[in-house]
Amino acid sequence: MRRNLINRFFLLASPFALAATAFAAEEDPAMVLEEFNATASAASNFRVDNLWVLIAAFLVFTMHLGFSSLESGLCQKKNTVNVLFKNVFIICMGIITYYIGGFNLMYPAFGEGEGILKFAGFFIPSMDAVADPSLVTPGGYALDMTVWTDFLFQAMFAATAATIVSGAVAERVKLSSFMIFATLLVGIAYPISGSWKWGAGWLDQKGFYDFAGSSVVHAFGGFAALACVLVLGPRKGKYTKEGTKPILGHSMPLAVIGVFLLWFGWFGFNGGSVLNADPVLVSYVCVTTAIAAAFGGFSAMITSRVTLKKPDLSMALNGILAGLVGITAGADSVTIGAAAIIGLIAGALVVFSILFFDKIKIDDPVGAISVHGICGIWGTLAVGLPFFNGGSESLSFGTQLLGTVTISAWAFIFSFVVFFILKLIMGVRVSEEEENEGLDVAEHGSPAYSD
């Protein structure tokens, strides 16, 4: 209370103090007042911008609850605890590894002629570093927020990459192996390729554009998941001599809750990526995000009805996510009509992609490879097409193709090598007996449901 009263006193007294200063220094009071107003305005904008990005980080955090609900809902109930445990581990380890070195690996301050790999040192600065005005003052830090807000927002993104993999390898992966893999993926692989674009690395210098991460986050996670699934193999009983046998999730209500939580959190994922509270751009990005999601869900409903002869709820849910992933690369730059078309195509694409991967016996219980990998590439490429970018000369399809292929290939190669080494050293798959029993009991010794 005392501090608030003091602050209010100085705020009221400031114009008089400025006038007295101007008089003593024989300066023009109008110019001094103008400078004061500019400084006060900058400070006010800084507070609002910093607060919005911080709130956006909280929204992205809720996406991890969404992933947890969606993945557990689409898996068998005997594996619910295991799915939830992996998601709890990922958010904890994601923040830890990003704090230790991931943040400075992803944002190393590349100099001219650099842009592939650089490390700015361990840990983020603590409160005892506030004497450095670049960390906490308007315009001092590279963005209009404190370094801690930037760290928290970006850490939420980093953990998402491993969460995508979690769903694809569900119901048969060995927990210890996955935990080691997820730590390396979030702590090393993601920050390296992330720095190529968002850290002003070589892809950014070439003009590659990815507003909020269709490739940097989603295609990265999707192709990391593909590599792990190839090493891991399908669930027992999924592919038989009689054909593909559906392994149904145990709770569609939980899956629906998960998708709506993800959609809600995506307003922070994309809206926060404006990196300030610009009312025009933030509201525009949130609208293109909502439009693409809605059209993606609708498109998947129609496509699944035509191809499967029934309206499939899981396909509709994945269609919403496909639209969200697809618009993420260009949410700030495409027209609203283009956002609708991007969502429509993504919604249809995800249905055909899921059916394709099932046909070639690549088992992905939640459709993560299709939603994040395939639709992440689609969204990134769409930004480079004149029809979607309004003929912008600064956006090149060739550069977009280079960027998304490079990031996807890096994620796939890193994940395949690491996961294969883990397979040789300690194994990556539970035994057939443990898989039949369920990972809740086999790995954790406690089922999710008492009945």
**DSSP sequence for 9-74:** HHHHHHHHHHHHHHHHTT--HHHHHHHHHHHHHHHHHHHHHHHHHHHHHHHHHHHHHHHHHHHHHH
- Please report whether residue 26 resides in a domain: no
- 3-class SS of residue 78: helix
Tokens standing for residue 31: 């110019």
- Please report whether residue 43 resides in a domain: no
**Number of domain units in the chain:** 1
User: What confidence tens digit (pLDDT) does each residue in 50-108 have?
Assistant: 999 999 999 999 999 999 999 999 999 999 999 999 999 999 999 999 999 999 999 99
Question: 130 pLDDT exceeds 70?
Answer: no
385: left (phi over 0), alpha (psi -120 to 50) or beta: beta
Q: At residue 110, what is the residue type?
A: F
User: What confidence tens digit (pLDDT) does each residue in 206-218 have?
Assistant: 999 999 999 999 9
CATH code of 124's domain: 1.10.3430.10
Residue 137: which domain range? Answer: 55-444
Question: 29 pLDDT exceeds 80?
Answer: no
Question: 310 pLDDT exceeds 70?
Answer: yes
Which residue, 106, 105, 71, is CA-closest to 88? Answer: 71
Residue whose entry in the numeric block shows the structure tokens 């103090």: 17
Decide if 434 contacts 246 (C-beta within 8 A).
Answer: no
Question: 15 pLDDT exceeds 80?
Answer: no
Tokens standing for residue 416: 């395949």
Q: At residue 319, what is the residue type?
A: G
Tokens standing for residue 358: 């099932």
- Please report whether residue 19 resides in a domain: no
- Please report whether residue 23 resides in a domain: no
Question: 446 pLDDT exceeds 70?
Answer: yes
User: What confidence tens digit (pLDDT) does each residue in 262-298 have?
Assistant: 999 999 999 999 999 999 999 999 999 999 999 999 9
Percent of all residues in the chain with a pLDDT value above 90, rounded to a whole number: 79
pLDDT value for 139? 62
pLDDT value for 17? 45
Residue 71: φ, ψ to 5°: -65, -45
Higher pLDDT, 181 or 241: 181
- Please report whether residue 75 resides in a domain: yes
State how far the Cα of 253 lies from the Cα of 247, in Å rounded to an integer.
17
pLDDT value for 113? 82
Mean predicted confidence (pLDDT) in 356-368 = 97
Question: 389 pLDDT exceeds 90?
Answer: no
- Please report whether residue 249 resides in a domain: yes
In sign, the C-alpha dihedral spanning 305, 306, 308, 310 is positive
- Please report whether residue 36 resides in a domain: no
CB atoms within 10 A of CB 364: 23
